[in-house]
Structure 1
Amino acid sequence: MSAVEETDVLIVGGGPAGALLGFLLARRGIGVIVVEKQTSLERDFRGETVAAPSVVTLRRLGFGPALDAHGFLRTEGVTMRMEGRRVMHVDYRRFALGEVPVDIPQPALIAMFSDAAAEFPTFEYRFGTSFTGLLRDGDAVTGARLRRRDGSTSEVRARLVVGADGRFSKVRHAAGITADVQHMARDFLSFKLPRPADWGLQAELVVDRDRHLVVLPTFPDFLRVGHNLPKRGLGALRAAGFEPFKAGIMALDPRLAPVVAEHLNSWDDTSFLEIFTAEVPEWTRDGLVLIGDASHTCTPILGQGVNLAIQDAVVIAPVIADALSTAGPVPAAAFTGFVTERRRHKAHVTSFQRLQEKALATGSTPGVLLRRARYRLLDALPLKYRIFGGVLNAPHGIDPADLAVAAGGSRPGLGV
């Protein structure tokens, strides 16, 4: 027979959104259990860039000492090169936030959140625990069924279940919410390389007609390289052979040729990512809410996933706390404002990503010439900082009051 437990909030998914939300709720004295199907955090994450506004938010939440103690890599700007010519450069240090994007391993970031939360008696983070189904009372969600790696099962009854389990969310599926998946024309293959000593701290977008590389400095001393390929084109790429693939990378950016030749040895060194966005028509049920990629999947362009997740957690924490002041499952209506606000911000990000993807997918000679001319013109105008700042540094809708430590819940290093 399954064990039965009770808590205020059950969060399914222990990534950045789930772990940070768990901390924010536990700090308010709310009972919260975070469950994560993986047995540890020691796995590879593709997106590890924390945008400048998110760095500001984390420091105001009190995580500055932990960030500094672990270490991170500052990303000082981005350079775009098209058909062998530099066409644009954005210097992140020119923005007025006082921070630049940083690269830090997501396992370290998640550990910072969960370690801070573990100091509160109402918090628990469980590795190796999978979600298997929702508990219901009529139409209201009242908890979830869980299974550990050893096969044991349990039921956790909660006034709110939070689905923070990513782009293929099982919680979303169990709730009967169908995502409208919109595929991009291309997918991505990524890999890591040692960072050459003279590379600097700039991200690079290297484009040749409809082929491109995204090259990101990665903590502590790597480059993360993303290479586009046609949708459903992985099979053909592999059939053509690994050496032609390597040759294509080196031709796109000859600066990478020495490290590619030495360190990129087989398909096992690469990681495939299917590129799509997902529009989710409903984010809530009575007793349930979706956050992060479970509710608004974005593409990897500009690395917005982890940042949207952090924003979601900070914005929704006070909403949940207020909603728990009344008895019973948290009603879906409690999240109307949250959903409206976050959907608007996500749509802004996605529209910019689609414009970027459309420009990068251009392969015809007239299109390539026009694209290059547009970027060079934009580079010459101060307007580029307003355009990029509108996405990279867009307001999060975070009330400064939401960043204050709950009364009686402060501890050294986590005050504001």
Structure 2
Amino acid sequence: MKSVNYKTDVCIVGAGPGGALLAYLLAKQNVSVILIERHQKIAKAFRGEHLNEEGEAILKKHGLFSKVEELGMLAMESLEYWENGKLLKKIQPDPKVGHLGIHVPQAHLLQVLIEEAKQYPNFTLLTNTKVVDLLVNEQNNIYGVKALNEGKELSIECGLTVGADGRYSTVRKKAGIEVSKRKHGYDLLWARIPAPPGWEPSIKMALIDGFQLSLFTQAKGYVQIGWNIEEGSFPELRKQPFTPFIDKLIMAFPILEQSVKENIQSWNDFVLLDVHSNFSENWGGNGVAFVGDAVHTMTPTGAFGLNSAMKDADCLAQIITPEEINKLDLINCETERKREIERLQAIQIEKEQSFATQFVIYS
């Protein structure tokens, strides 16, 4: 097997929004960076794609928002709660904010981040590249990764390895870092259908058999369906007739009937997400650091995941220079972000537990 050796200041594993943003910011700061992605194509289906105010602010801070906007995004104009096919209540945005979240196709966001990073000669993107191990010296410090790319073995030496490789992070596992995992009592079925004529940019919610059903309007004329089901129930659910299940969706939102019947015709038209959150007390040290789901997986509730990963990247980028990584600042950044993530994960739990109360109307 052929072997190729690289040397760089920072190696980032995972080219999702957090990893790609960090790579761009570091390249811009004259830090040499290699960004690794195990897929051939970097945009993946059914990932968090809703920006909140904080994510919007980060993109604007770095002059990226307008570039993504040119490719296409869609601001949500309302949050609606529906019951038995009728609108129960409607929430509109604070005029100062102007939206209740912005749908940004992940492909658009990543395209901008990667294209901007490629302007700098100190940036390298390696796709179809899978990390298989870490490089560790006699002092037990991590100084890079071993990876495979189309039959070639890669050795990438660096001053800092960043795990931005998601909830099942290889870097985290190879570094021996533990996470505490929490199940939330539900799994999630995703599907995407064309929006019916006249559909307004909105997030719509319903309560079906005690579980949350959400509709997220997407750019380019689509609606993403997020349907919570009982944890672990999908194998048995698949054995049951499909029509009664999908009829509940149509009863909740009659306007979707034609699009649903044309585009969701079997259980195979749903994608299952195993919902859990996790949190690690250790976000780095000994030559490694982490951002996003690698150390704090979020549930889909509140759409915090994408925005939190970008905030991690923004914070980390501020303490890395070509000369050094300030270890004290690294600890301060980690402490600040941990507090924020713990707060957001508590909010997610509260939102999930109190969702049914949104459908109680007090006279």
- Within 5 A, what are the aligned runs for 1:240-389? 240-321=240-321, 325-326=323-324, 330=325, 334-360=329-355, 372-373=359-360, 376=361
Residue identity opposite 2:253 in structure 1: D
Q: Counterpart of 1:76?
A: 77
Distance 1:88 1:128, change over 3 A: same
- Measured on the aligned residues, the alpha-carbon RMSD in Å equals 2.0
In the TM superposition, what is the alpha-carbon distance from 1:77 to its structure 2 partner?
Answer: 2.2
Aligned residues between the structures: 361
Distance 1:63 1:331, change over 3 A: closer
In the TM superposition, what is the alpha-carbon distance from 1:248 to its structure 2 partner?
Answer: 2.5
2:85–2:251 CA contact under 8 A, matched in 1? no
In the TM superposition, what is the alpha-carbon distance from 1:42 to its structure 2 partner?
Answer: 4.9
Q: Counterpart of 1:141?
A: 142
In the TM superposition, what is the alpha-carbon distance from 1:332 to its structure 2 partner?
Answer: 5.8
In the TM superposition, what is the alpha-carbon distance from 1:259 to its structure 2 partner?
Answer: 1.5
Q: Take 1:163 and 1:331, find their aligned partners in 2: how far apart are those partners?
A: 18
Q: Take 1:60 and 1:235, find their aligned partners in 2: how far apart are those partners?
A: 45
1:181–1:277 CA contact under 8 A, matched in 2? yes
In the TM superposition, what is the alpha-carbon distance from 1:334 to its structure 2 partner?
Answer: 4.5
In the TM superposition, what is the alpha-carbon distance from 1:212 to its structure 2 partner?
Answer: 2.6
Structure 2: unaligned runs, 5 residues or longer: none
SS in structure 2 at match of 1:165: coil
Distance 1:371 1:246, change over 3 A: closer
Q: Counterpart of 1:128?
A: 128
Q: Counterpart of 1:66?
A: 67
Q: Take 1:195 and 1:52, find their aligned partners in 2: how far apart are those partners?
A: 25
Structure 1: unaligned runs, 5 residues or longer: 361-367, 381-416
Q: Take 1:271 and 1:46, find their aligned partners in 2: how far apart are those partners?
A: 11
Q: Take 1:248 and 1:34, find their aligned partners in 2: how far apart are those partners?
A: 44
Deviations 1:292-339 (A, max 9, x none): 110111100121111111111111101122xx534xxx5765421111
Q: Take 1:53 and 1:132, find their aligned partners in 2: how far apart are those partners?
A: 34
2:191–2:226 CA contact under 8 A, matched in 1? yes
2:78–2:99 CA contact under 8 A, matched in 1? no
Q: Counterpart of 2:56?
A: 55
Deviations 1:62-106 (A, max 9, x none): 1233123212111112112346664543312x1524565221210
As a proportion of its length, which structure holds more helix? Answer: 1
In the TM superposition, what is the alpha-carbon distance from 1:109 to its structure 2 partner?
Answer: 0.6
Q: Take 1:131 and 1:228, find their aligned partners in 2: how far apart are those partners?
A: 33
Residue identity opposite 1:31 in structure 2: S
1:143–1:155 CA contact under 8 A, matched in 2? yes
Higher deviation after alignment, 34-43 or 79-88 = 79-88
2:319–2:326 CA contact under 8 A, matched in 1? no
Residue identity opposite 1:44 in structure 2: A
Residue identity opposite 1:28 in structure 2: Q
Q: Take 2:242 and 2:8, find their aligned partners in 1: how far apart are those partners?
A: 51
Distance 1:143 1:331, change over 3 A: farther
Q: Take 1:15 and 1:234, find their aligned partners in 2: how far apart are those partners?
A: 28
SS in structure 1 at match of 2:124: strand
Residue identity opposite 2:333 in structure 1: F
2:43–2:107 CA contact under 8 A, matched in 1? yes
Q: Counterpart of 2:111?
A: 111
Higher deviation after alignment, 231-240 or 80-89 = 80-89
Q: Take 1:82 and 1:124, find their aligned partners in 2: how far apart are those partners?
A: 51
Q: Take 2:33 and 2:43, find their aligned partners in 1: how far apart are those partners?
A: 23
SS in structure 2 at match of 1:295: helix
Q: Take 1:106 and 1:262, find their aligned partners in 2: how far apart are those partners?
A: 25
2:159–2:287 CA contact under 8 A, matched in 1? yes
When the two structures are superposed, what TM-score results if normalisation uses the length of structure 1? 0.82
Q: Take 2:208 and 2:102, find their aligned partners in 1: how far apart are those partners?
A: 27
Q: Take 2:275 and 2:268, find their aligned partners in 1: how far apart are those partners?
A: 20
1:136–1:143 CA contact under 8 A, matched in 2? yes
Q: Take 1:25 and 1:146, find their aligned partners in 2: how far apart are those partners?
A: 22
Q: Take 1:64 and 1:334, find their aligned partners in 2: how far apart are those partners?
A: 27
Q: Counterpart of 2:33?
A: 32
* 2:91 paired with 1:90: yes
Q: Counterpart of 2:230?
A: 230
In the TM superposition, what is the alpha-carbon distance from 1:264 to its structure 2 partner?
Answer: 0.8
Q: Counterpart of 1:414?
A: none
Distance 1:331 1:68, change over 3 A: closer
2:16–2:42 CA contact under 8 A, matched in 1? no
Deviations 1:39-66 (A, max 9, x none): 0135413321111332232123112331
Q: Counterpart of 1:194?
A: 194
Q: Take 1:44 and 1:297, find their aligned partners in 2: how far apart are those partners?
A: 17
Residue identity opposite 2:172 in structure 1: R
1:83–1:207 CA contact under 8 A, matched in 2? no
Residue identity opposite 2:135 in structure 1: L
SS in structure 2 at match of 1:80: strand
Q: Take 1:222 and 1:268, find their aligned partners in 2: how far apart are those partners?
A: 19
Higher deviation after alignment, 47-56 or 7-16 = 47-56
Residue identity opposite 1:128 in structure 2: N
